[in-house]
Amino acid sequence: MKSEHLHPLSIVIFIGRVIKQLYIVLGLLLWDVIAKNHVNPWIYLGIVLLIIGWGIVRYICFTFAFDENGLTINSGLFIRRHDHIPFSRIQTTQHKQWFFLQPFGIESLLIQTAGHEDKKSQTELPAVSIKISNLIDQLYQNKEKTDSDLPIANQSDQANQIPDNYATSTQDLSKYALTSFTIFPVLGALMTLYSQLDQFLPKRFLKPFETILNHLRLNDWLIVVTGLLLLGAVSSYLLILQRYYHFVLIKKNNKLTTVRGLFQRQTLGSSLKKLQAVIIEQNILRQWFHLATIKAVVASEAGSKDHDDDNFIITPVISAKDVPNHLHHFFNWIPASFPELDHLPKVCDWYFVRNAVCLSLIPVALSIYFWHQWGSVSLLLLPISISLGIYKGRNTALALLSDNQSLLLQSGYCWTKKTTILQRKNIQSLVCRQTIWMTGRHLTHLCVNVRQGDGNQEVQIRYLSDAKALAVYHWYLQKPDSKNQ
């Protein structure tokens, strides 16, 4: 294998990463310039040259090589690091291309492996030609076919398989964005930014602004708050729209691939056999509008880099009634219709309500103790906790699917319904937990664990009857049918 360098434009990426690593130091220097009006050009010229030089050094020291068996990456100046990644260990591959890199035919290739430490499970080629990244991806797929248990004839059929596509329309994405709770973190980010302004801007810039705020009347404050809410809503809408712009789901050769993004086009692919579970999520707004989001649990950090969560989003928004058929089309082990779910008795709602109220009593008591009358506002947490408890109890359910090899678990949290569908062979462990107080009531907590990223995801069905929990436990202990493996 002959080692080669990244594209020269990767120097810009390395310089950007150096700046990102030194943002605190650079921020303090910028504050010194603004506050003291003192600029020593030689110091700042030296810092700029140091950043550029370090970016160039990282480019020179970074090389890679690959053949039909794996990929090798060499990096580091004082401590040389050589990472060899066999294609058989790759879980997912992710292609990212910013709009300004499109004319040059360059993209970033992120490879997720089956490692157990975050830094060792993620490998990136920051800037390579699309031709090279596609070649590496193709070698990985060829290795998948070679190592599979399928007969050679079936492998040949798969190579000629026509891809199944599903595209999300702009209208559906608009519904998804409008029913998102992303507005709250956006507002939180705006408030955090405002609270930190005094650390970066001198008082002479902030004082006029503070004077205006101190003289606002109630009507003016209502206008300001309304404006902030609108700003947060518009920002949230545009953020989601550009993130999932022209979303396409593709299934070909037992591989699932998603393509999305406006400013940064992202392609994320994973073998179907490496998907651990499928998740259907609906917050309370999307339940009212009969919409759902479909994700997949993957044994890699496929989603975390996109700030979605640790899961692989395979369909951002779809009509709830179309979910079973949609899943059956892309996952043949999921039936085209779901069985009737086995819900908890309504009396169990009391347990969830009790737990939620007990947790909320702690901040309520502290607020009243320290702020007295103003702290009594925290009593609003009690009805909120009651509604959360009722919601969780009403949305807790489970069912065995028709193939007797898959399990459907449904739970509720923070006014969001989460349905997890998983095959028995992908369950890492199944645990039944019971406190001494639950023994007399014949209740059990059922905990199902599947691998997620470099860790674990636990799906919990609380206050299940002993008989139902024992039935699921015995189902898990059954020997799987060879034809389903």
Residue 136: band (very low, low, confident or very high) from pLDDT cuts 50, 70, 90 = confident
pLDDT value of position 137: 84
pLDDT of residue 84: 87
Q: What average pLDDT score do residues 252-277 get?
A: 87
pLDDT above 80: residue 413: yes
Q: Quick one: pLDDT band at residue 70, thresholds 50, 70, 90?
A: confident
**Residue 353 has what pLDDT?**
93
pLDDT of residue 368: 87
* Residue 122 bridge partners (DSSP): 112
The predicted-structure confidence for 78-135, as pLDDT tens digits, reads as follows 888 888 888 878 878 889 988 888 888 899 998 887 654 545 567 889 899 999 988 8
Q: Which of 17-21, 44-48, 148-152, 282-286 has the lowest mean pLDDT?
A: 148-152
Average pLDDT of the residues in 221-226:
78
How many other CB atoms are found less than 10 A from the CB of residue 207?
10
Task: Report residue 399's pLDDT band, with 50, 70 and 90 as the boundaries.
Answer: very high
Radius of gyration of the chain, Cα coordinates, nearest whole angstrom: 27
Task: Read off the pLDDT of each residue in 62-91 and give the average, rounded to a whole number.
Answer: 86
- Percent above pLDDT 90 for the chain: 30
pLDDT of 374 reads 82
Task: Look at residues 174, 310, 169, 325 and name the one whose alpha carbon lies nearest to residue 247.
Answer: 169
Q: What is the average pLDDT value for the chain, to the nearest integer?
A: 82
Q: Which of 204-213, 335-344, 391-400 has the lowest mean pLDDT?
A: 204-213
Instruction: Tell me phi and psi for residue 69, to 5 degrees.
Output: -100, -30
- CA distances 150 to 23, 147, 155, Å, are 51, 9, 6
Q: Is 80 exceeded by the pLDDT of residue 183?
A: no
Q: Give whichever of 215-219, 221-225, 479-483 has the largest mean pLDDT.
A: 221-225
pLDDT of 306 higher than 60: no
Give yes or no for residue 158 having a pLDDT over 50: no
Q: Which of 184-188, 317-321, 399-403 has the lowest mean pLDDT?
A: 184-188
Whether the predicted pLDDT of 275 surpasses 90: no
List, in sequence order, every beta strand (DSSP E) within 169-290: 248-252, 255-260, 264-271, 275-283
Amino acid (one-letter) located at 41: P
The token pair at 403 is 């193939």
Q: What pLDDT shows up at residue 37?
A: 58
pLDDT at residue 318 in the model: 92
Most confident of 28-37, 280-289, 451-460: 280-289
Task: For residue 150, name the pLDDT band (cuts at 50, 70, 90).
Answer: very low
Question: Residue 256 in contact with residue 298, Cβ under 8 Å?
Answer: no
pLDDT band at residue 146 under the 50/70/90 scheme:
low
| Count of other CB atoms within 10 angstroms of residue 144 | 19
Percent of the chain with pLDDT over 70: 81
At residue 479, the pLDDT reads: 67
Tokens of 312: 């692989």
Buried b or exposed e, range 351-382, using 16+ CB within 10 angstroms: bbbebbbeebeeebeebbeeeeeebeebeebe
Asked whether the beta carbons of 179 and 246 are under 8 A apart, the reply is no
* pLDDT, position 394: 93
What confidence tens digit (pLDDT) does each residue in 432-485 have? 998 888 888 999 999 999 988 667 889 999 999 999 999 999 999 886 654 454
Whether residue 33 has pLDDT greater than 80? no
Among the listed ranges 121-130, 236-245, 346-355, which one has the minimum average pLDDT value? 121-130
Per-residue pLDDT reduced to its tens digit, 224-237: 778 877 887 888 88
Q: How far apart are CA 449 and CA 458, in angstroms?
A: 4
Query: Which pLDDT value is given to residue 307?
Result: 46
Q: Are 399 and 338 a contacting pair, CB within 8 Å?
A: yes
